Chain A
């Protein structure tokens, strides 16, 4: 299977701990997105990369959150000093856009990482 993969699938942590999630996009996809989904809600955009450049960040992405995509392939999302309100499903998606870009590129989603903060 060559879809988007995320690791771990589940993470339980105590409040105040740091956690890091990894996303491996579809090979050769140049865009990578992070979303957060809480219970009973649709996913909410957090940030996205084109290659290694972080092009947009949501206001939802507080100072405790940081994302990287150092070589333009996999990405990591780190949450420092976790809070109970961070409990959610963290989704990663990837897409391929040309040089001119495409408005409304098709994003392919991974299975998500479910974070529980105790």
Chain B
């Protein structure tokens, strides 16, 4: 079975400092992985997607993630946090053919 583990339930950063949200995956085959963001009272929005092409994936709003098979990781990074990045972030793996299995989420807090 496919699963993801988000290693931090909360991450706090100051505006302008780097962001690192950690995700490890477990998959019996080459996985498809996503990061979604959920702002309060808004729907889930896709940040980026990995589907076995380039291991470094660039997403929206300056986020990127690197697929590392040897470490079974798919960490999300951003060089400089902005106040508007404060939200909950979900690491997601495709299970079966099309259904998504979500991690428990990491709440990103950004202080001025």
Question: What is the interface of chain A, defined by CB distance below 8 A to chain B?
Answer: 3-4, 31, 33, 35, 40-45, 48, 56, 58, 91, 93, 95, 97, 101-112
Contacts and interface: CB of A to CB of B under 8 A. Distances in A.
B99 A103 contact: no
A101 B97 contact: yes
B7 interface: no
A91 to B, nearest CB: 7
**Chain B: number of interface residues, binned into ranges:** 20 to 34
Interface stretch (B14-22, B41-49, B63-71, B79-87): B41-49
Contact of B43 (A40, A41, A45, A112): A112
Contacts, number: 65
B72 interface: no
B25 interface: no
Contacts of A101: 97-98
Given A41-B105, A42-B104, A103 B98 contact: yes
Nearest to B36: A109
Given A33-B99, A44-B102, A112-B43, 17 more contacts: A4-B43, A33-B100, A40-B104, A41-B105, A42-B105, A95-B98, A101-B97, A102-B98, A103-B94, A104-B49, A106-B49, A107-B46, A107-B100, A109-B43, A109-B44, A109-B45, A111-B42
Contacts of B95: 45
Contact of A42 (B42, B98, B103): B103
Contact of A45 (B41, B42, B99, B103): B99
A91 B90 CA distance: 15
A42 B96 contact: no
Given A4-B43, A106-B46, A106-B49, A56 B96 contact: yes
Given A4-B43, A109-B43, A112-B43, A42 B90 contact: yes
B43 A111 contact: yes
Given A4-B43, A109-B44, A43 B49 contact: no
Contacts of A48: 98-99
